[in-house]
A and B are shown apart, each in its own frame.
Chain A
Amino acid sequence: MRVSRGIRLSLRVVALGYLFVLLAVPIGVILWRTFEPGLSEFLASISTPAARSALNLSLLIVAITVPVNVVFGVATALALVRGRFRGRGLLQAVVDLPFAVSPIVVGVALIMLWGAGGWFGALDQAGFQVIFGIPGMVLATIFVTLPFVVREVEPVLHEIGQEQEQAASTLGANGWQTFWRITLPAIRWGLTYGVVLTVARALGEFGAVIMVSSGFPGVSQTLTLLVHSRYIDDHNTYGAYAAATLLMGIALVVLLLMTVLDRKRSDR
């Protein structure tokens, strides 16, 4: 399509203008508001006891979610790619399901299952509190991050095929050896990409977690809940900006990692 210089320029101006107003200006404003009172103010705001415990809780949830997702995600991907069984199509659909469910609905569903009046309410009455406890927040995070590892590992497994694995087992390697020496090295970049996505989403999840958290500062607040409660409950606008900027910093690191990894993956 030959486009005259005038149209080309005006399209460019419209597109960049849209991105500028929607993305650049708001982010610029929040950065300015965060750092305008000085770096020490920012550091003080993100190192209060409540903020520290929020960071710790967020990291704890990530530390539980990631290994669980790696183990079950790789197993699911293997079963979906290499397995031949009835209902595989159904399993595929179930893996995609979390993408289609609103975070709030995830929270409600977990309450209906694990809550005091839910199907597994007996657990709650026995003293093992899932909802309004850390287990509930972990379950919510695993629910929303479940597809990432599976969906990033699956295409790689398809691509590498089975020749090398078969060669290894013909040479006498057992299942575990084949997995550690052949399959895992082949899927490592896809797996890493899936883990990065999982970490980012786990740190950033808000809707599902707020539904199942009791939300006490210093006890059951993650970083995202801290941003919310500082703004809504404490009317501490600056504190909310500072905590949001911290999360934004983490997100930027993640974005950078994703770009680097994406290049690595396509190099392979």
Chain B
Amino acid sequence: MTSDTDQQRRGPRPGTDVAPLPPRPDATAPDGIHPHGGGAPPYADPGDAAARPKHHGRGLRALRRPLGIGVVTLWLSVIVLLPLAALTVAAFDEGLAGFWEAVTAPAAVAALWVTVLVSAIVALVNAVVGTLVAWVLVRDEFRGKRFVNAVIDLPFALPTIVASIVLLSLYGPNSPIGVELNATRWGLVVALLFVTLPFVVRSVQPVLIEADHEVEEAAASLGASTWTTFRRIVLPTLAPAILSGTGLAFARAIGEYGSVVLIGGNIPRETQVASQYIQQQIEIDRPLNAAAVSVALLAIAFVTLLLLRVVSGRSQRREERDA
């Protein structure tokens, strides 16, 4: 029943500026219970339609006919595919050698390195702190918890340039607390932590809600310490969610521009990230360099997301086998 569309829906959604991936219990439903609940078939499989007699399901048939699908395909092509195709062709304008030269130019390599390094740090911090925040929001009780829970989505709702200004007002020149992070790599890290905050929290939260308390209590009553219970019972349950949140945060951090543009300082080889390098190359009219590094950036993001999908597919299969 898990059609490929279902897979896609659970798929990674990086770069969602405002999409507060609402806790989706369906991604984490305990085995056996269908996410959509109820005993009836959760939804009509698209395959059913074709199997039925023709006079059924006439509604919206226009979209099932080649014309409707053709229009949709054309639309997606013009808006999304053609620009990316033009970008890729431009990157290889002077052949593979030209592409390679542009990507391995010292400034380009430095920018890509800074981007990956800073994004990796941000992803790791998110993995730890995001899990911790999710745990506190699910298992702890305190006044104002609902408010804190709502605030987590703020970075998704806030325009990235506003995030930049907000952080500058605190950590920028004339910082009221005397911590000046602008034009340092720490500034980049703080800005990216700000915009990627919700990813791990929002992917771990629903799993923690669904997690089985009884196993934890059994472990505790058998004499396992808190730390052992966490390491042996809780962490393995949360691992796929932590991983997917961390991966999404990494993919988002790789391409981020608005939040780092003001606080980063754009110092080549120091704090210039790949997106700033690309923007600079367009400004000085080197489209080939800009296109080539863009393609490299896209490739990094795709590989990250592909790895995520492979890993999550594997853990899902293991779950099904164990069930």
Interface positions of A (Cβ within 8 A of B) = 1-4, 7-8, 11-12, 14-16, 18-19, 22-27, 29-30, 33, 72, 75-76, 78-85, 87-89, 91-114, 117-119, 139, 142-144, 146-148, 151, 154-155, 158-163, 165-166, 168-170, 173-175, 178-179, 182-183, 197, 200-201, 203-207, 210-211, 224, 227-228, 231-232, 240-241, 244, 247-248, 251-252, 254-255, 258-259, 262
Contacts and interface: CB of A to CB of B under 8 A. Distances in A.
B158 A206 contact: no
Contacts of B226: 1-4, 7
Nearest to B167: A26
B169 interface: yes
Interface in B225-284: 226, 229-230, 233-234, 251, 254-258, 261-262, 274-275, 278-279, 282
A247 B256 CA distance: 19
A3 B291 CA distance: 52
**Most central of B22, B60, B132, B302 by chain A CB within 10 Å:** B60
B279 A84 contact: no
Contacts of A163: 44
B18 A204 contact: yes
B160 A206 contact: yes
Contacts of A258: 20, 153, 157
A11 B60 contact: no
Interface in B43-92: 43-44, 46-50, 55-64, 66, 68-69, 71-73, 75-76, 79-84, 86-87, 89-90
25 contacts: A12-B136, A18-B132, A19-B152, A26-B167, A30-B170, A75-B72, A79-B72, A94-B76, A97-B80, A99-B16, A100-B305, A105-B298, A112-B287, A113-B82, A113-B83, A162-B44, A162-B49, A166-B58, A169-B59, A170-B55, A182-B59, A204-B159, A241-B165, A248-B158, A258-B153
A91 B73 contact: yes
Chief secondary structure at chain A's binding surface: helix
Contacts of B8: 89, 92-93, 96
Given A102-B298, A160-B43, 19 more contacts: A2-B229, A12-B136, A14-B132, A23-B155, A29-B176, A33-B169, A72-B75, A79-B72, A81-B5, A94-B80, A100-B302, A102-B255, A103-B257, A119-B86, A142-B79, A163-B44, A178-B60, A247-B159, A262-B22
B87 A139 contact: no
Contacts of A248: 158, 162, 166
A255 B162 contact: no
A183 B63 CA distance: 13
Nearest to A76: B72
Given A76-B72, A244-B165, A258-B20, A18 B129 contact: yes
A240 B68 CA distance: 46
Contacts of A103: 15, 255, 257-258, 275
B176 A105 contact: no
B202 to A, nearest CB: 12
B79 A118 contact: no
A151 B129 contact: no
A109 B161 contact: no
B15 A204 contact: no
Given A101-B15, A108-B290, A206-B258, A252 B157 contact: yes
A141 to B, nearest CB: 11
Nearest to A164: B59
Contact of B153 (A75, A79, A81, A255): A255
